[in-house]
């Protein structure tokens, strides 16, 4: 049973990624995204938070603490990949403009496609990573479906509207399958990870990353909140692509999935808390 679920998880990962990215393209207007990209101070701060400060925290932590090479690789991949589609849901939960979440996500996703293939070989000592293969896979499975979705909205709006709910459903169901099949299929590996400190480091990293993004987004409530959530919610879709195509040790995939799952729960709680804080400030005003 474990082997079947492991294969199911591997088969479902690209379905989840492509369907989710297509849905992003089908639901976001380029004009709204470009509007937020023109806010250069916020854009530069998000690039600094996600591609310098947050990864640096994990690099320092994995150098200070000793982990199995597969767990270290998984944690580093988790930290290096930014721009998660789930940021849109977190932005909605915190009651901010969804277009801001989408603009931040796309900015970081494009950055990840360029950044991850270049930096991964540098931080993963002794591990061979084909930078071009990583970049190609990220482009084909992340950026291309988004571009296709936006083109469909622009030129075939009726067709785009008809398939968008299906893309959303397929993406959501595929995510449930990936999470469930991974958590159950790799249960023996997961039990071996408990006690190593890798899960705890993943949790601490999410909290520290939130703080980094929140502080750098300081200025307005919406940039603080989305900055914190966007930096803390790493791009597990990109991480899964890298893990499944470049590593044979299942612990890389397992720690990625665990860190992401726990992070989602934590960030949903934080997003709802931020929503209540925003409501309170509005009432006082």
The candidate with the shortest Cα–Cα distance to 101, out of 239, 252, 213, is 213
Residue 208, judged by CB atoms within 10 A of its CB (0-12, 13-18, 19+), counts as: middle
The angle that helices 98-123 and 69-80 make with each other, rounded to 10 degrees, is 140
- Domain count for the chain: 1
Q: Write out pLDDT tens, residues 40-75.
A: 889 999 999 999 999 999 999 999 999 999 999 999
Q: Write out pLDDT tens, residues 83-121.
A: 987 888 888 888 888 888 889 988 998 899 889 888 988
Q: Which residue has the higher pLDDT, 224 or 187?
A: 224
Task: Evaluate whether residue 68 is within a structural domain.
Answer: yes
Task: Evaluate whether residue 281 is within a structural domain.
Answer: no
pTM of the predicted model over 0.95: no
Task: Evaluate whether residue 180 is within a structural domain.
Answer: yes
Residue 132, judged by CB atoms within 10 A of its CB (0-12, 13-18, 19+), counts as: exposed
Q: How is residue 204 written in tokens?
A: 């601490």
Task: Evaluate whether residue 97 is within a structural domain.
Answer: yes
Task: Evaluate whether residue 10 is within a structural domain.
Answer: yes
Kindly report the CA angle at 134 between 35 and 51, in degrees rounded to 5?
Answer: 45
What Rg value do the Cα atoms of the chain yield, rounded?
A: 18
Task: Evaluate whether residue 285 is within a structural domain.
Answer: no
The length of the chain in residues reads 285
Q: How is residue 59 written in tokens?
A: 């690099």
Task: Evaluate whether residue 260 is within a structural domain.
Answer: yes
**Given this model, what pLDDT does residue 129 score?**
67
Structural domain for 39, as ranges: 1-275
Place of tokens 């469909």: 152
Contacts of 167 (CB under 8 A, 6+ apart): 19, 20, 22, 23, 26, 149
Place of tokens 């990109």: 238
Q: How is residue 282 written in tokens?
A: 């509005």
CATH number (domain holding residue 165): 1.20.1530.20
Give CA–CA dist 256/72, Å, rounded: 10
CB of 230 closer than 8 Å to CB of 213? yes
**Given this model, what pLDDT does residue 285 score?**
43
């Amino acid at each position: 049973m474990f082997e079947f679920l492991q294969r199911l998880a591997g088969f479902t990962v690209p379905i989840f990624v492509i369907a989710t990215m297509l849905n992003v393209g089908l639901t976001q207007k380029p004009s709204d995204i470009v509007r937020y990209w023109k806010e250069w101070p916020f854009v530069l701060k998000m690039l600094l938070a996600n591609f310098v400060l947050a990864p640096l925290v994990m690099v320092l932590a994995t150098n200070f603490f000793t982990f199995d090479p597969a767990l270290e690789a998984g944690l580093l991949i988790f930290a290096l990949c930014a721009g998660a589609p789930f940021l849109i849901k977190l932005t909605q939960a915190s009651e901010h403009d969804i277009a801001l979440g989408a603009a931040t996500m796309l900015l970081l996703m494009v950055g990840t496609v360029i950044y991850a293939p270049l930096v991964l070989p540098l931080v993963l000592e002794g591990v061979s990573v084909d930078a071009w293969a990583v970049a190609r896979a990220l482009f084909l499975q992340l950026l291309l479906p988004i571009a296709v979705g936006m083109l469909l909205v622009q030129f075939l709006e009726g067709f785009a509207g008809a398939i968008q709910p299906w893309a959303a459903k397929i993406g959501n169901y595929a995510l449930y399958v990936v999470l469930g099949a991974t958590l159950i299929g790799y249960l023996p590996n997961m039990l071996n990870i408990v006690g190593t400190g890798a899960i705890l480091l993943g949790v601490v990293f999410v909290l520290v990353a939130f703080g980094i993004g929140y502080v750098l987004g300081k200025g307005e409530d919406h940039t603080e909140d989305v900055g914190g959530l966007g930096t803390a919610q790493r791009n597990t879709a990109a991480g899964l692509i890298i893990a499944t195509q470049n590593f044979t040790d299942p612990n890389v995939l397992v720690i990625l999935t665990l860190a992401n799952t726990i992070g989602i729960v934590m960030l949903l709680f934080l997003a709802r808390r931020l929503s209540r804080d925003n409501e309170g400030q509005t009432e006082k005003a």
